[in-house]
Amino acid sequence: MSDENRPHYLFVTGGVVSSLGKGIAAASLAAVLETRGLKVQIIKLDPYLNVDAGTMSPFQHGEVFVTRDGAETDLDLGHYERFLHGKTSRLSNVTTGQIYRNVLDKERRGDYLGSTVQVIPHVTDEIQLAIERGGEGADICIAEIGGTVGDIESLPFLEAIRQLGIRVGSKRAMYMHLTLLPYVKSSGEMKTKPTQHSVKELRTIGIQPDVLLCRSDRPLPDSERRKIALFTNVAERSVISAIDLDDIYKIPAWLHQQGLDELVVEHFGLQTRKTDLSQWDRVVTSRDAQDLEIEVVMVGKYVDLADAYISLNEALEHAGRHTGSKVRIRYIEAETIVRQGDRVLQGADAILVPGGFGERGIEGKIVACQYARENGIPYLGICLGMQVAVIEFARHVCGLEGAHSTEIDPDTSHPVIGLVTEWHDSGGEVQRRTHSSDKGGTMRLGAQRARLSAGSRARAIYNAEMIEERHRHRYEFNNHYRETIEGRGLRISGETPEDHLAEIVELPDHPWFVGCQFHPEFSSTPREGHPLFSSFVRAAREHHLSHQVDAGAAAPATSSAQGAA
């Protein structure tokens, strides 16, 4: 790749402890650089041996984010897409498992011409190749290294970015290190020693950071900034305070105020237009217009870990900004409903059942769906949430006793949800799967088209006949039951053009009842929101307000009676 076509590389590493927010920091900086007219790509390098995040438990790793081209990736790619206008792809997430698989495939083919295959140079070369592929066509490629400096798993990645920095030269490579500045209440001091040691560890392996992002719960005093600069060999203006903020969408402006984007542009010698954060200012100030708090009950399987539903949480929050509503999410473990019944759902302005796999809690989700249907409460079912809506309707409205999904009950007498063995992907290619296929590659994944029926609620929400949304599932609505179920009132209002697979179901005679087979949360951004979530939250507002009116109408009679007494 010639120098004029090669991106400028900004490498983001982390130290002291994990989960400091490298992904959000990288995405926020990228968002600011994007407003300066630069094309920015972000990639995530994960040091685990899994080929991708698809088979990892949300309890351990949080949400699996799905790209348009069907890659199951780290949740940080969701942050990237929410902050940037560009979309990620399977090239945007690189794991140790992918790297070693590629190296071993090359070794088996004889590509190394009999050489002894080693971490250096073969593994590190493969990592560099992956970074270059992921950043191709960008002005700036931001590469975030997962894990923490000092972890054994991260060493090949750190060595690779050190080598790549030497190859492209100091004017095309920049290193940004995120560390923790703990505050000790007993002494009233902010401690810089962990940051000093983290940078020392980084320098030991040959990387001198150009910028430090210092994460803390309060602004960094100038005296501590000078001390950190002195002991880490980093310019004082390049020591950036990364404080806890009450809104992550304030971070781009916070970093810009400290001149971080200017440091990057200066380092790379780029000529750009001025930063324009007006769009982000509108996103931030939209919270001030939220005049009503509504409660959305989310009935899920992984509710003890917020990261398991991070895109979903953000999509609801985006919808709140676009509808003037403060959305409060009340999480309910599906098994709790099995034990305690639907009384735990009382007071909900809306009910949402998200995607998931496996049988645990499935009956609780069905009860939640029935409660929403029978009580006129807005309901949104996503993926498995749509499937339980079909199962519930088949059982309690159509009289199909024991109706279920073959994922849960292979011997069900009424398999209203089953495994479709053949379908067309977004490129028109025929895909096949069986019950014995590997779990890592048998799903309908990535962007798929759906045609929306004229006159349906779905068509009105999207204001389009054809839409494209991302999928991650194996089981589908069984079209053998379509006539029976639609005959009793559950309308299939969206389906794939080629295979007529059900994409959206809705109840026309319900205030708002929609289930979708896809995951709309992956497409929501704070700037545009998402039409499905915005419509859902508006319905929750209407439900809340109507119940306020009902309560108010009853209040005078109660007050009068009390006065007479």
Do 260 and 210 share a structural domain? yes
**12 has which bridge partners?**
144, 176
Are residue 301 and residue 278 in the same domain, yes or no?
no
pLDDT band at 270 (very low <50, low <70, confident <90, very high): very high
Q: Are both 254 and 318 inside the same structural domain?
A: no
The verdict on 279 and 296 lying in the same domain is no
Residue 169 has pLDDT above 60, yes or no: yes
Examine the domain organization and report whether 398 and 518 are in the same domain: yes
Q: Of residues 144, 469, 476, 521, which has the active-site annotation?
A: 521
Tokens standing for residue 305: 């870990």
Q: Are residues 393 and 261 in the same domain?
A: no
Selecting among 519, 530, 543, 544, the annotated active-site residue is 519
Query: Are residue 208 and residue 353 in the same domain, yes or no?
Result: no
Residue 128 lies in a domain: yes
For the stretch 134-158, pLDDT in tens is 999 999 999 999 999 989 999 999 9
Is 510 among the catalytic positions?
no
Q: Closest Cα to residue 78, out of 318, 281, 245? A: 318
Same domain (yes/no): 275, 318: no
Band of the pLDDT at 550, cuts 50, 70, 90?
A: low
147 and 171 both lie in a single domain: yes
For residues 520 and 532, the answer to whether their CB atoms sit within 8 Å is yes
* Half-sphere exposure at residue 329, Cβ-oriented, CA atoms within 13 angstroms: 22
Q: Which strand (E) or helix (H) includes residue 252?
A: helix 251-257
d(CA 312, CA 61): 16
Q: What global pTM score does this model have?
A: 0.90
Q: Rounded to an integer, what distance in angstroms lies between the CA atom of residue 442 and that of residue 146?
A: 27
Q: Could you report the per-residue pLDDT of 68-115, keeping only the tens digit for each?
A: 999 999 999 999 999 999 999 999 999 999 999 999 999 999 999 989
Residue 554 lies in a domain: no
Q: Which pLDDT band holds residue 554 (cuts at 50, 70, 90)?
A: low
* 334 and 375 together in one domain: yes
Domain hosting 510: range is 290-547
Within a domain: 565 = no
Q: Is residue 509 part of a domain?
A: yes
The pLDDT, as a whole number, for residue 4 is: 64
In the chain, DSSP finds a helix count (H) and a strand count (E) of: 18, 25
Query: Residue 507: CB partners within 8 Å, gap ≥ 6?
Result: 373, 489, 490, 491, 513
* Residue after which a domain boundary falls, among 233, 268, 283: 283
479 with 434, same domain?
Answer: yes
- Confidence class for position 565, pLDDT limits 50, 70, 90: very low
- Split into its structural domains, the chain has a count of 2
Check if 369 is active-site.
no
User: Per-residue pLDDT tens for 426-466?
Assistant: 555 555 555 554 444 467 899 999 999 999 999 999 999 99
Tell me, yes or no, whether 558 lies in a domain: no
- Report the CATH number at residue 396: 3.40.50.880
Q: Based on the fold, state whether residues 428 and 511 are members of the same structural domain.
A: yes
CA distance 25 to 40: 14
Domain end, chosen from 236, 256, 283, is at 283
* In a domain? residue 561: no
Tell me how far CA of residue 168 lies from CA of 40, 42, 238, 363, in angstroms: 18, 18, 22, 57
Catalytic residue flag (residue 519): yes
As a whole number, mean pLDDT of residues 29-37 equals 97
Q: Of 383, 407, 476, 510, which is the active-site residue?
A: 383
Last residue within a domain, chosen from 283, 305, 328: 283
Tell me, yes or no, whether 302 lies in a domain. Answer: yes
For residue 560, being part of any structural domain is answered with no
Question: What CATH number did the domain enclosing 171 receive?
Answer: 3.40.50.300
Q: Above pLDDT 70, what percent of the chain?
A: 92
